[in-house]
Amino acid sequence: MSYFKELWDGIRTTAQGLRLTGGYLTKKGVYTIQYPEETLPIDKVTHRGIHEYDVDRCISCENCAKACPVDCIYIESAPDEKGKPSKGKAAIMTRFDIDYSKCLFCGLCVPPCPSECIQLGERYSLPGHTRDDMVVHFHEGGYPIQEKTEHAKSMIAEFRTENLYEKKRKERADRGIPTLRPAE
């Protein structure tokens, strides 16, 4: 008797699936878009895209890397004149990479940053053919922050008044560390 019950369940569920598919075939409308020519609107409240980063405001505290649950953030900073690793306002970032083949886009790296130099942006397309294409080198100046918070704006104003941007740019250039951030 269980053989006929299983047979009936198979027929019933197949008919249910065909009815559902048939309903979509009779409806008129577009269900796909022609990406990348067309894109869907982004919900700015819930969207978590590729990170945006300000290399000159980063103090190399490594809080974002410590908060990352999958260890996809790689940070290195230049040692000071005495050969000690520099931490704090005078730190010079030499490497800030995020491996997007590991990243969960959870956003846990954003809140612990005291200088608010990292945030999740709106961009979501990161095409590539190898795993190396999934690693973004933010220390080279790519993906700058588009919308800044009030704390970040006040920190930027402080950096401008103390001329810290120029000092960091000069120190980066002296050490041969690239920066693509334009002079302001």
How far, in Å, CA of 157 to CA of 163, rounded?
Answer: 10
Record the pTM. 0.64
Beta bridge pairs of residue 111: none
172 versus 90: the higher-pLDDT residue is 172
Predicted confidence band of residue 26 (pLDDT cuts 50, 70, 90): confident
How far, in Å, CA of 79 to CA of 115, rounded?
Answer: 20
Q: What is the pLDDT of residues 1-15, one digit of tens each?
A: 688 999 999 999 999
Say which residues have a Cβ less than 8 Å from residue 125's Cβ, sequence separation at least 6.
36
Task: Return the domain boundaries, the chain.
Answer: 51-174
The CATH class for the domain spanning 51-174 reads alpha beta
